[in-house]
Amino acid sequence: MKISLGADHAGFELKQKIKAHLVNQGFEVGDHGTASAESVDYPDFARAVGHDIAENRAKRGILVCGTGIGMAIAANKVHGVRAANVVSADAARLSREHNDANVLALGARLVDEQTALQIVDKWLGTEFAGGRHLRRLEKISELERQ
Ligand code: RB5
């Protein structure tokens, strides 16, 4: 499974840790940057990762900024993206089971490295539950079309 990554300056270090963790596990990773702690604008990276998802260049995306909030807001503007900003492995699991989240948005200033990697593992390892949740996702897709 290919995973598209992006971060701003606040998320840069954690993004590097997540990237190494994913590569170690054998995932194919596409990294859109940023490549340093120099100040940048998070929507640029949310856009790149969101388009990878929307255009089927990656199956999942992971975005990191200070809180994960700006990244989630921006990524959710891209058609077909369901970005979830979570701070626990439990919420990560539910974002997959109930919402089929295809983008994970993490806040490097809110979660420590160990928690972030646990969130990533749980999120990547959980399948969408379907059933009644599928009907609800179809209603979200309908909103995108309106
Ligand atoms: C950058 O200072 C910060 O605003 C950004 O990383 C993010 O937290 C926005 O939601």
Q: How many CB atoms lie within 10 A of CB 83?
A: 27
Ligand 1 geometric centre to CA of 70 (Å): 6
**pLDDT, tens digit, for every residue of 71-81?**
999 999 999 99
Residue nearest to atom 8 of ligand 1 (CA): 66
Known catalytic residue: 9? Answer: no
Ligand 1 geometric centre to CA of 88 (Å): 19
Conformation bin of residue 128: beta by default, left when phi > 0, alpha when psi is -120 to 50: beta
Structural domain containing residue 79: 2-145
- Of the candidates 138, 142, 56, 136, the one whose C-alpha atom is nearest the C-alpha of residue 102 is 56
Mean pLDDT, residues 91-117 taken together: 98
**pLDDT, tens digit, for every residue of 20-53?**
999 999 999 999 999 999 999 999 999 999 999 9
CATH assignment of the domain containing 51? 3.40.1400.10
> What's the number of domains the chain is made of?
1
Burial of residue 65 (CB within 10 Å: 0-12, 13-18, 19+) is buried
- 10 band by pLDDT with thresholds 50, 70 and 90: very high
Q: pTM of the predicted model, to two decimals?
A: 0.98
> How high is the pLDDT of residue 9?
98
